[in-house]
């Protein structure tokens, strides 16, 4: 039996206590895939301290049950070097945010898109109109910005736009060490901003994600949530370990 299998066998009973009802088996399979496909994560769980860090991240992940299978693009557990050693953080991706919003039962449809300089783009004139958006068929040009749009089942439409400069400023302030490419980061960030404003439910898919984007371990995220801090105003980072290369945020 591999270290990953032994580890999951040990922690599964406790994780199931936090898991979304009826979804634990699928979640557990996705955890195994995520860890077994990552040499970094397998290295981390080879030590007691690493196992504790992975368990804390999985406990957070189990609360919403999003698949951790990289092929699904819903959520991920990422290993970082911190001043106290390896830290494993849980991050929800764009498609995971969409799934959680749809689960609320209040959303008819939701999307986030990239706007480039040659696309046809006209923001809604009033809250009840959809955005006009038609990507150019060829030569779309450079990125101008990102938008997210959502229609609730009560008929109302919500819209949020962020320019590429706003996205870059947000990343520099909150997520400078994020591993995500520019386009994926922009689509996810504008979607999170929209969902933060929506107050669809008491679900924690925005608060925990804010902290995990900033290199904060799962335990720290849970502690901050319990303190009910303002997620928009709070900045928290983990100091990276200098390992002799330019990408010192990843193990």
Domain ranges of the chain: 3-93+218-226, 105-198
> d(Cα 110, Cα 123) in Å, to the nearest integer?
16
Q: What is the pLDDT along the chain (251 residues), one digit of tens a residue?
A: 688 888 889 999 999 988 876 788 999 999 999 998 888 888 888 888 888 889 999 999 998 899 999 999 999 998 877 777 777 888 899 999 999 999 889 999 999 999 999 999 998 877 678 899 999 998 999 999 999 999 999 888 999 999 999 999 998 888 766 677 889 999 999 999 999 888 775 444 444 444 344 444 444 444 443 333 222 222 222 222 222 222 223 32
Give the pLDDT of residue 3. 80
3-state secondary structure of 92: strand
DSSP 8-state class, residue 5: H
Report the sign of the C-alpha dihedral through residues 210, 211, 214, 215, in that order.
negative
Give the pLDDT of residue 241. 26
> d(Cα 4, Cα 122) in Å, to the nearest integer?
50
Give the pLDDT of residue 177. 65
Give the pLDDT of residue 34. 93
- pTM for this structure? 0.74
> d(Cα 210, Cα 221) in Å, to the nearest integer?
9
| Cα–Cα separations (whole angstroms), residue 97 to 69, 77, 227 | 15, 15, 23
Give the pLDDT of residue 233. 23
Give the pLDDT of residue 132. 93
């Amino acid at each position: 039996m591999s270290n990953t299998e032994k580890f999951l066998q040990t922690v599964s009973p406790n994780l199931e206590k936090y898991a979304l009802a009826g979804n634990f088996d699928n979640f557990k399979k996705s955890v195994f895939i995520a860890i077994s496909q990552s040499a970094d994560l397998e290295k981390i769980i080879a030590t007691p301290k690493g196992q504790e860090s992975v368990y804390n991240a999985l406990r957070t992940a189990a609360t919403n049950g999003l698949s951790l299978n990289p092929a699904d693009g819903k959520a991920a557990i990422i290993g970082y070097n911190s001043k106290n050693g390896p830290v494993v953080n849980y991050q929800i991706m764009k498609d995971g945010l969409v799934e959680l919003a749809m689960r609320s039962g209040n959303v008819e449809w939701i999307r986030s898109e990239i706007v480039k300089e040659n696309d046809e783009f006209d923001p809604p004139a009033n809250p009840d109109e959809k955005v006009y958006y038609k990507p150019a068929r060829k030569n779309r040009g450079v990125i101008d910005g990102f938008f997210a749009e959502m229609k609730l089942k009560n008929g109302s439409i919500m819209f949020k736009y962020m320019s590429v400069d706003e996205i870059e400023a947000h990343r520099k302030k909150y997520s400078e060490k994020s591993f995500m490419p520019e386009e994926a980061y922009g689509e996810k960030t504008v979607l999170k901003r929209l969902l933060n404003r929506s107050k669809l439910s008491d679900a924690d898919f925005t608060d925990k994600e804010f902290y995990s984007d900033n290199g904060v371990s799962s335990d720290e995220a849970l502690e901050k949530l319990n303190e009910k801090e303002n997620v928009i105003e709070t900045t928290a980072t983990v100091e990276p370990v200098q390992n002799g290369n330019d990408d010192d945020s990843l193990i």
